[in-house]
Structure 1
């Protein structure tokens, strides 16, 4: 069609070539005596269309054709993955809403730190995955550019209309510099970086699930279909799906590093090294897509042990910071002074086997009675004990993005709206591709009808 538009072939020759290409979709077989699929296709077209079929390669090269083929396939893979990500994040949001008020310990250094909720914890992953969605969208934008018309690397005397070709294939513009168009593979790096970041977050989520589901912790139960037993120990429940995902993340990240290694030593222009990049890209895409689909169903079936989580929240003195902040504000005392006092009180309370919070509060009151005049301290045991209640701790926190159940619910609703915007973005990109296909079919039909007349 581009050669017809440029005037290098007439309608009759164009129709012969088009008919041969359409027939090749069903009948083409590889001829291993020829170098590659490109020459196989050209040989077939010449056989079907006659000598005029030799025009097929005018103004084209394997270099720009391969680059275009990768971009065409990759853009579709990215859109499919984005649709999978929408479904996956939706499940995370539903689970976050289900456990919005379920108290659990937040960790630093793998030690219980402060109270939070399961909903807040899940939302931390939702936001990380949203950034991965944005990276995939950015990768799509740089992928969906046409290199066709660049030929080997400096264009062609045939001088085809590159923008015309790009429109018919649903590309959003062209990679303008012809040498850059055939020699650049940074769009592959963009995609692999987005996939690596996504799998890094999957790996972290996997590690959390493995940790929380182990018998010593016991915060959550993973559905039976996502665990396996031992060949010798019948009581075992090994969270093998999460373990496998953790390993796959290493492969995807390694693939990104491998592609950087391939590209770093190349001169500008086409190099056959590029062939070793493409299969790595598809391998990574396959592993990520499969992981997301499996994780979506696993997350949907997770059950959390709220009683066990609440117990660790209390035993871990996780509201000690709330107590210190309250006293610093109430007494107008430097936080660091109160921090030290609460730290000493916690150390003493840990030695008691009775109610940890009760001992902590009594130690604090003892400290206050010796550090302040009685009339200046208007704090009672009940007041301070109430401050150590983890649910109150969450409700009292008005921080934007914090674990207050109302704030978590606001964020859940906001993220659901963002998912809808992402859906609209995907639909918009698909419409551009479909419009290109529609215009392409119209051009083909026009040629066929003109010749028939």
Structure 2
């Protein structure tokens, strides 16, 4: 529709090649919401009268109720062209009023921000659920001994609860970053036009408020031509997933029969087609592989963005499918991972067997002796090392070794105290996120159904 008067009809193969119709299913709802808010503003500033505005709104809502069927969108450059063409088909030329005061550039980035902020809120809830499960598991396993490793070698005794607080520390930091990037995303670019604004006197702040944004993206070039908000969201999600992948490696190692430190719900395991004894951690392996895919999607996003000048180019269209893929990998994978964590139990016999094999409290013993006897630590360290070399088992009692006084250590009483306090934090934050979601639901329902 857009190209016809200047360039003539396009060829279907080329339009299909450059079209974003497949990916636009992610933002269809938010494209409609953005257009309705825009029509409302055009009516308020008397660019269109109430009758025209009402007819366009009704048609937009009817298009929304009809759903997104890719088959009927064939031949269009994107969902924006399809909707405008459909408005004109239904209403005649008055449907063309939808194009004034906006560009596809500010329109699409508004729809992406609307979609992304909901995705971030949903991911917050998923992540908060992981925190809740990990913290409850920390309380449950506050004194359940695990042999921690460095360099993939037996290192020190700690507990499952201590490792669960490690997972919570990581997830807590991720949530803080998600909340920060939500603030970055939750600003409206609508009214910025293609680059330098529009001659129509749109109140961008009023439009932003109507859609539940906290404010506007000030500079119109930045509003339409930057994807910093996308790459910021994608990068922090992938950063977190990479760290989760590292924790998966610990779980997989603990599940090995050679160690057998933990067990998990059999529903997360698979067996071999030929070896009936195998118990493979299938869900962990698939999630870890998909984390690798997420890294690849992020690298693709950087590669797409890097050569593009400030301002809109069609390259940016190709960016968003990678964002949705990353969010999908995170959402599905973290839900599965949370369920896995909820089922983890320490195998005391497996841990005991390793404690009989490996001296893992020598460091604690050396520290205690140095302090008790007033001897330089390195002298005691060397003495202990010589004993170990000659085959003498030197170490502190396991339970005493756990009772470190320092903040954040393996001390079981500290683990219970910290986990309990953080559970209250999780409940409070979950309530805040749900409150934001409920508010946005009201805004979206009002625009789509009033």
Name the TM-score class by shorter chain: 0.7 to 0.9
Distance 1:35 1:332 in 2: 79
Determine if contact 1:64/1:181 at 8 Å carries over to the other structure: yes
Hey, what does 1:391 align to over in structure 2?
Answer: 399
| CA deviation string 1:99-120 (max 9, x = no partner) | 1111121211111111111110
Using the TM superposition, give the Cα deviation of residue 3 of structure 1 relative to its aligned residue in structure 2, in angstroms.
0.7
Distance 1:39 1:171 in 2: 25
- Is 2:427 the partner of 1:420? yes
Determine if contact 2:139/2:420 at 8 Å carries over to the other structure: no
Select 2:407's aligned residue among 396, 400, 416.
Answer: 400
Hey, what does 1:49 align to over in structure 2?
Answer: 91
- Is 2:56 the partner of 1:17? yes
- Is 2:238 the partner of 1:238? no
Hey, what does 1:123 align to over in structure 2?
Answer: 165
Distance 1:140 1:401 in 2: 29
Give the stretch that moved more between structures: 37-46 or 175-184. Answer: 37-46
Using the TM superposition, give the Cα deviation of residue 285 of structure 1 relative to its aligned residue in structure 2, in angstroms.
0.9
Distance 1:74 1:96 in 2: 32
Determine if contact 1:206/1:246 at 8 Å carries over to the other structure: yes
Hey, what does 2:382 align to over in structure 1?
Answer: 340
Structure 2: tracts of 5 or more residues without a match: 1-39
Q: Secondary structure at the match of 1:115?
A: strand
Correspondences of 1:95-110 after superposition (within 5 Å): 95-110=137-152
Determine if contact 1:97/1:412 at 8 Å carries over to the other structure: yes
| CA deviation string 1:84-133 (max 9, x = no partner) | 11112211112221111111212111111111111101211111111111
Hey, what does 2:204 align to over in structure 1?
Answer: 162
Hey, what does 2:238 align to over in structure 1?
Answer: 196
| CA deviation string 1:41-92 (max 9, x = no partner) | 1122223333222211100111111111111111111111111111122111
Structure having the higher Rg: 1
Hey, what does 2:219 align to over in structure 1?
Answer: 177
Q: Secondary structure at the match of 2:196?
A: coil
Count of residue pairs the alignment pairs up? 408
Distance 1:248 1:420 in 2: 30
Determine if contact 1:228/1:238 at 8 Å carries over to the other structure: yes
Distance 2:381 2:149 in 1: 19
TM-score, normalising length: structure 2: 0.86
Hey, what does 2:17 align to over in structure 1?
Answer: none
Q: Secondary structure at the match of 1:349?
A: coil
Hey, what does 1:153 align to over in structure 2?
Answer: 195
Using the TM superposition, give the Cα deviation of residue 439 of structure 1 relative to its aligned residue in structure 2, in angstroms.
6.7
Hey, what does 2:42 align to over in structure 1?
Answer: 3
TM-score, normalising length: structure 1: 0.86
